[in-house]
Structure 1
Amino acid sequence: MSVKGVILVSVMVAMMAVMVKIYPNYPTGRMGVLFYYCTSSHQVRKEMNATKESLASLPVSPSTPVTFVIHGFTESSIRSWVISLTDALLAHDSKSVVILVDYWDLTTISRPYMMGNVRHIAGVTAHLIDLLVEEKGVRLANVHVIGFSLGGRISGLVGERIQTGTLGRITGIDASYPWLPPRTNSEFLDAGDADLVVNIRTSPVGSHSPPGHIDFYANGGLSQPGCQRWYFPEKVEQICSHYRAVWLMVEAVEHAGQGVFPACRCPDWESFQDHQCDCQIVNNFGLFPNSSILGNFFFSTHSVSPYSKPL
């Protein structure tokens, strides 16, 4: 997608967020980054800070699985997909803790300010993870950061800024950037940011990110079935495909361990469609991809939920 296209999509998403009144107030920047932790459901969430004092009451031990969820540009931690993903993660493992990173109040349409805010959000989140390691004994191998859209880029910066070791895992959900791409891979999510970096790509918005260890391409990674409506402008179609990524992730977590979203290792989407790959090497998108099988994997989906379909 062209630079003009990326700019237009970003502006459209921001305008839609305001027009449909997704948020109760306008961002001021005064509140900064907010953190919430959940142990049973999103509904019973508690605010916390990246401080030793705030961590004192956090119910984690060295063996506790901790998942960070980072929303996208113009979003907040009360978006429906964040709620659904949080509840699915906790239902899958009742002993886990989900920490929501909410940076809505730092959202701005000023590119220079947003670029600076992105680095700040990543720095504060990385500091919180370092505190979990130092104060609560949490093992980085048990920490999983999930980031959607701009949150995917922030996830990469989080992994880069951690001081206590290497993050266990990052999942980039159609990871992207606001308006313009970063100048170097160090400003994005890439394979160097965690022991395991998994990407799922569903739209042109997330097509520019560097490769991770495992990259899943749903329906070729550019356009999703059900988004190509005759009355949809092209940019709305791209937004639809972009947001399909989060619902694929939610479904994958809701059915974790059940073999959903089987994907075939292939050089490209055309080879997959033309059955030129024998699909002897298969991986599954979701919570449990095979970390010993790396590369690019392709799968197709239904146009409506449930999205997963066999190869």
Structure 2
Amino acid sequence: MDRLDTMRLYARIVELGSFTAAANDLDLPRATVTHAIKKLEARLGAQLLQRTTRCQRITRDGQAYYAHCVRLLADLDEVEADFREAALKPQGRLRIDLPATLARQVVIPALPEFCARFPLVELDIGTSDRFVDLLREGVDCVLRVGELPDSGLVGRRVAMLAQATVASAGYLRRHGKPILLADLQQGHLAVNWASPTTRRLESSLEFVVNRRRREVHLPSRVTVSGVDAYLACCEAGLGIAQFPRYRVADSLARGTLREILPDLPPPTLSVHVLYAQQQMPARLRVFVDWLVELMERQA
């Protein structure tokens, strides 16, 4: 029996006036009650109850200890009640970090819906593609696209994103539009990508051919580690690149980028929400569930 259980037991003994009544009320053996109170008195170094064969009487120390028990147990009950209420009605501040483009084009436009559904949840939103140390920076969750790092965080997949292979109209005029995968080896260039977190170089284009992944390595004159710079280099005609389709939808619609090899798409990209807590507070749980719902609608 832990200290809180012992405090509750002692309070019931005082309130009901006997060990037997408290044991019956709490569905405990009479011997367990007697042993627990003896251990409590030994730990406190004070006699709380004077017991005889016919009655028991609370001592002065026992009265003081009872008053402390009542106050502490009431405070604990109030705290637990507040948390139970919060679980039923999510509330509080939630710090999240999102990829900038996904935030701007997908998540933020839908946020009025979340805010209307959960009016007591406040959102503190950061937008970046860098590694975020959730515990050190006090961030509740991050949304990340692509391969998950081995970070020890809890991850939940919320979507799979289709990708497209693209190049600028000017690039295709100079280098020709590849029709077959083998055409890429005829003088074509790629824009290389380096992870902003690990600085690992991604120097190959990937395609799905007959349900199998194929890598094609092309020479490159530029390497970037920012999503906006990666897109800008591709639009400037510096090489071929691969993006989640949502990221280049506007550029494809405007004609500044053209899709190439549409019958051989890149592999899909997974989107995960990552968080550090196995036991999520209600405000985090409802936000993660809403993200899953949102991304499923977008897909």
What is the TM-score with the length of structure 2 in the denominator? 0.23
Say which structure is richer in strand. 2
User: Larger relative CO (CA 8 A, sep 6+): 1 or 2?
Assistant: 2
Say which structure is richer in helix. 2
What is the TM-score with the length of structure 1 in the denominator? 0.22
Larger Rg, first or second structure (1 or 2): 2
